[in-house]
């Protein structure tokens, strides 16, 4: 093993749309490693966090970083971008640079859906152009498609969607769902010099908010279109409520109105995330990093790569765990607040439904008494 291999850490990010086979690819690379990636089924996401996993191969050691796609079934695009941005900013501030990026694309999918195109667009904005020599476009699941069909789709994919990236230094590779295939792909980025991604440069060197970055601006633009659509739906619903005379239907419409309000609140939270000044939380993180490094008698960079020893399960295990716990606590507080407000609204709607039902029952009872009274009068008259 060379001294160069011993002294450096390979940081290889795995990106792509849900269902592209990211987790399966990672498991082939790790084989019998300590930590294995959870494999999803169909188009349901199983990776909702940026998850680093230790690997060693050919004398190199480092981390493979599993990332959620921008079509996640559990998170908004803003939340996904924030998670990726947090991890990228933390590592870059600790002077740890990405040495390879693998973008996975399922070759069995003939059609380029809107979500796939969005993933490709965001991938370009995250990477920029200067790091493309460290990028490999990997088509997956070749074992599940006839060779000639796969080759035709590969040609179309590389010509129509990745040609510019390939011309600027990106490579291409095939993965057929075997360990040998996955390791061959990984070897294409082993030993690369670490590079600064465009998103890292924007956040750290240019001191931009997340919304001011190229990737954040794209997400913000999409959010603005969704917000405009939401406003139209809210107005249409408001008019329906005003024109509806059946109280039960009115309440059902108001329940839909509450759901739209919850979506709107979520979008406002996303907007705040894009506009927030990240310096404060990153400075706090850096203080924690420096404190741990001083206590350990090592440099902050060394602390960040302590997870690269044999048996480690994560990149920068102590700090990353603390950071994820802090993020989880913040998310839990927000979720509990949303659930509380939703519960209050639901209880109010249920109270109104009971009131209407009780009122209707009272009216029926009064009408029944009036009918009996009228019958008594008629009988008495006879």
Question: Confidence band (pLDDT; 50, 70, 90) for 114?
Answer: confident
How is the chain split among helix, strand and coil, in percent rounded to 5?
65, 10, 25
Average pLDDT in the 58-66 region? 88
Query: Encoding tokens for residue 374?
Result: 């009228």
Q: Pick from 292, 287, 237, 291: which is nearest to 260 by CA?
A: 237
pLDDT over threshold 80, residue 316 = no
Per the model's pLDDT, the better-predicted residue between 13 and 365 turns out to be 13
Average pLDDT in the 282-291 region? 72
Rounded to whole angstroms, the Cα distance separating 10 from 60 reads: 7
Domain limits for position 24: 3-209
User: Residues with Cβ < 8 Å from 360, sequence gap 6 or more?
Assistant: none
Average pLDDT in the 297-310 region? 57
- Measure the CA angle with vertex 164, ends 17 and 198; round to 5°: 65
pLDDT over threshold 50, residue 337 = yes
Rounded to whole angstroms, the Cα distance separating 156 from 146 reads: 16
> CA of 29: how far to CAs of 58, 189, 223, 271, 334, in Å?
12, 13, 37, 38, 37
CATH of the domain at 113: 3.40.50.300
Per the model's pLDDT, the better-predicted residue between 36 and 119 turns out to be 119
Query: Considering its fold, how many domains does the chain have in total?
Result: 1
Rounded to whole angstroms, the Cα distance separating 345 from 135 reads: 49
212 CB-side CA count, 13 A: 13
Rounded to whole angstroms, the Cα distance separating 349 from 319 reads: 45
Domain-located, residue 354: no
Whether the CB-CB separation of 99 and 131 falls below 8 Å is answered with no
pLDDT over threshold 60, residue 172 = yes
Domain-located, residue 215: no
pLDDT digits (tens, 9 = 90+) for 173-216: 999 989 999 999 999 999 999 999 999 999 999 989 889 999 99
Tell me the β-bridge partners of 62.
10, 55
Average pLDDT in the 286-297 region? 72
* Sheet strand arrangement including 135-140: 51-57, 60-66, 10-16, 100-106, 135-140, 171-174
pLDDT in the model for residue 307: 42
Domain-located, residue 247: no
Domain-located, residue 232: no
Domain-located, residue 28: yes
**H or E, element range at 15:** strand 10-16
Whether the CB-CB separation of 16 and 22 falls below 8 Å is answered with yes
Domain-located, residue 124: yes
Average pLDDT score over the chain: 78
Whether the CB-CB separation of 301 and 94 falls below 8 Å is answered with yes
pLDDT over threshold 60, residue 372 = no
- 32-41, 113-122, 193-202, 286-295, range with greatest mean pLDDT: 193-202
Rounded to whole angstroms, the Cα distance separating 54 from 36 reads: 10
**H or E, element range at 104:** strand 100-106
Average pLDDT in the 315-336 region? 58
Tell if the pTM clears 0.85, that is, is over it: no
Rounded to whole angstroms, the Cα distance separating 268 from 145 reads: 43
What count of other Cβ atoms lies within 10 Å of the Cβ of residue 258?
Answer: 16
Domain-located, residue 329: no
Domain-located, residue 364: no
């Amino acid at each position: 093993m060379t001294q160069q291999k011993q002294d450096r850490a390979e940081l290889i990010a795995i990106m792509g749309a849900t269902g592209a086979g990211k987790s399966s690819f990672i498991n082939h690379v790790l084989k019998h490693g300590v930590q294995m990636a959870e494999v999803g089924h169909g188009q349901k996401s199983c990776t909702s966090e940026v998850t680093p996993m230790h690997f060693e191969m050919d004398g190199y050691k480092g981390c493979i970083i599993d990332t959620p796609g921008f079509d996640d079934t559990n998170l908004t695009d803003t939340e996904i971008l924030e998670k990726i941005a947090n991890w990228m900013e933390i590592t870059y501030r600790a002077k740890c640079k990405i040495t390879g990026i693998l973008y996975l694309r399922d070759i069995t999918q003939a059609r380029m859906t809107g979500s796939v195109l969005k993933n490709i667009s965001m991938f370009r904005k995250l990477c920029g152009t200067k790091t493309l020599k460290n990028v490999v476009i990997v088509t997956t699941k070749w074992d599940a498609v006839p060779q000639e069909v796969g080759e035709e789709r590969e040609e179309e994919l590389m010509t129509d969607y990745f040609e510019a990236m390939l011309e600027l230094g990106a490579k291409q590779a095939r993965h057929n769902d075997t360990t040998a295939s996955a390791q061959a792909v990984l070897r294409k980025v082993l030993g690369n010099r670490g590079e600064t991604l465009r998103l890292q440069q924007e956040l750290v060197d240019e001191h931009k908010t997340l919304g001011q970055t190229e990737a954040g601006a794209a997400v913000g633009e999409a959010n603005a279109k969704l917000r405009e659509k939401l406003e139209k739906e809210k107005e249409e619903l408001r008019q329906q409520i005003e024109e509806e005379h059946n109280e039960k239907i009115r309440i059902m419409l108001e329940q839909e109105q509450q759901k739209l309000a919850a979506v709107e609140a979520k979008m406002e939270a996303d907007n705040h995330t894009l506009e927030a000044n990240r310096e404060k939380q990153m400075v706090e993180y850096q203080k924690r990093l420096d404190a741990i490094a001083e206590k350990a008698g090592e440099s902050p960079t060394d602390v960040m790569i302590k997870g690269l020893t044999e048996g480690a399960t994560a990149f920068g295990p102590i700090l990353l765990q603390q950071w994820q716990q802090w993020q989880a606590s913040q998310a839990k507080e927000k979720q509990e607040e949303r659930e509380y407000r939703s519960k209050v609204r639901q209880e109010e709607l249920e109270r109104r439904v009971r009131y209407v039902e009780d009122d209707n029952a009272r009216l029926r009872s009064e009408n029944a008494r009036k009918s009996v009274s009228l019958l008594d009068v008629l009988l008495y008259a006879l």
